[in-house]
Amino acid sequence: MRHYLSRLRARGDLLTVTREVDPRFEAAAVARRLQRENTKPVLFENVRGSRLPVLLNLYSDHDRLREIIRCAPDETFCARLDREISLASTLESAFEHIPMPSDWVTGTLSDLPILTYHERDGAPYITSGIFLAKDPDSGVPNLSFHRSMVISDSELRIRLGSSHDLAQYQLRAEARGEPLEAAILIGAAPELFMSACVSLPPDGDELALAAAMRGGPLAMRRALTLDLDIPVAAEIVIEGRILPNERRPEGPFGEFMGYYVEVGDNHVFEVTHVGWREGAVFHGLICGSDEDLRPLEAATAARIYKAVSAQVRGVLDVTCKPTVMNTIIKIDKQYDGHAQHALLAALGSHLDYNKLCIVVDKDVDIYDMNEVIWAFLTRGRADTRTMVIPDVPGFYRDPHKDHWGRLAIDATKPWGREAEFERKSIPGVDTLALDDYLPHFNPRASR
């Protein structure tokens, strides 16, 4: 993390706040306001009550995500991540083991600048923490995200989504009457963060995927109180155990869909050790913000791209921007009904998030929703190019069935009539420099 921040600072891509900020609401408010202005991360150097600085907005930009997975200029994020996943399964040496770093500091949760984000949040929450645990049967390590409510220096309350591997690990350990050991990594290297966003098959190893993204083996060291190997490239590590047969109230909390999740009985994480590297940076994350959604969208899009490409030819790119509940697919249309085939494949590729699927032609920018809607509205009928699929379960946490059903939209040109839909263009509009005509032009100031 610190090496990546040094790179961002050197090229002017890191904002720094030196004045003291309150960890309750203020840091989140500044970061959220900054997201309206640009995509640069912000480092709060002076957070009340802690010696550690706080970093926010790090993963809010798609180009930075491309950089993290070493994406070439002519390569899509989806295609590159698919290659990294394939490479991870063939690595002969994904890890190297080293001793505990000499600059390791032992402390408590109270020493950390854990933020309170939303008005009704029940307590400070760890939102960017990456849970590292091993499958109780196979020993394969898993990385995943779960919100953690701070109760005391010895207790967190966490929510394990039922579709997550970690939830299945916990259930199997609980069936034996055993706690599940886990470590929470905060301020981990960017490739670890991105790997944790990816949903691999049960036998997949997200740590090996992080090594593939890095382009070399991950340095690992032993945990202090657990039977786990921990990546050295994690600024802060909270070690502990998820207790069996124990559920306690957690919440409310402002979740990624933009609403509060009310109080519910959730799992108990017993803290056994807290430590960090000298000079560590605490990474915070506002759930539902650009920093939360961009990595989730990118990882989900890559999963859908892989599934659809395996069934339908001509798939060029996929995005789940701007909400992760939608999917937009770009195809090189090759036959009548091509878009419908892509839609059907997409609907079955991810049963949680594909509430809305849209297919567009290769001349449409799928990262610009204005272009996507324009294509639908100008390239054919609205009534015959939509499919409503009723009564299909949606997002796994949905007791009132608010996310049931699917909407699929064909926004491509009618087959055989491509010449009628050639987009008009003005030569030079994309290559000229406005400064040549309006010196010191500031597009933001003209809005």
Predicted local confidence at residue 447, as pLDDT: 46
What are the C-alpha distances in Å from 29 to residues 15, 315, 325?
15, 40, 25
Mean pLDDT of 225-238: 95
User: To the nearest whole percent, how much of the chain has pLDDT over 90?
Assistant: 75
Q: Which domains does the chain have, with CATH numbers?
A: 76-279 (2.30.110.10), 311-413 (3.40.1670.10)
pTM as predicted = 0.90
Residue 434 Cα distances to 64, 213, 442, 445, angstroms:
26, 38, 10, 14
- Looking at residue 127, what is its pLDDT? 96
Average of pLDDT values for 43-51? 97
What is the mean pLDDT of the segment spanning 391-418?
84
Quick: pLDDT tens for 305-347: 999 999 999 999 999 988 888 999 999 999 999 999 999 999 9
CB atoms within 10 A of CB 61: 18
CA distance 130 to 184: 5
Whether 413 shows a pLDDT value over 50: the answer reads yes
Q: What is the pLDDT of residues 77-113, one digit of tens each?
A: 999 999 999 888 888 778 999 988 889 999 999 999 9
Single-letter code of the amino acid located at 223: A
User: When comparing pLDDT for 395 and 226, which is higher?
Assistant: 226
pLDDT value of residue 257: 81
| Strand 130-134 versus strand 180-188 pairing type | antiparallel
8 A C-beta contact, residue 208 and residue 91: yes
What percentage of the chain reaches a pLDDT higher than 70?
98
The 3-state DSSP class for residue 158 equals strand
Q: 444 pLDDT exceeds 70? A: no
Residue 446 has pLDDT above 50, yes or no: no
How far apart CA 161 and CA 261 sit, in angstroms, is 13
Return the number of other C-beta atoms located less than 10 Å from residue 130's C-beta: 23
pLDDT bucket at 207, cuts 50 / 70 / 90: very high
The model's pLDDT over 238-282, given as tens digits with 9 standing for 90+, comes to 999 999 999 999 999 998 888 899 999 999 999 999 999 999 999
Buried b (16+ CB within 10 A) or exposed e, 335-357: eeebbbbbbbbbbebbebbbbeb
Q: Which residues of 77-102 are buried (b: 16+ CB within 10 A; e: fewer)?
A: bbbbbbebbeebeeeeebbeeeeeee
Asked if pLDDT for residue 351 goes beyond 80, the answer is: no
Residue with tokens 């394990």: 160
Mean pLDDT of the residues in the chain = 92
161 pLDDT higher than 90: no
What's the pLDDT score for residue 418?
Answer: 87
pLDDT tens-digit readout, 13-44: 999 999 999 999 999 999 999 999 899 999 99
**Tens digits of residue pLDDT in 174-187:** 999 999 999 999 99
Q: Which of 414, 419, 406, 421 is nearest to 338 (CA)?
A: 414
- What letter would DSSP give residue 439? T
Give the pLDDT score at 397.
Answer: 66
**Is 90 exceeded by the pLDDT of residue 399?**
no
Name the least confident of 47-61, 85-99, 390-404: 390-404
C-alpha distances (whole Å) from 430 to each of 30, 74, 425, 427, 434 are: 34, 18, 10, 8, 10
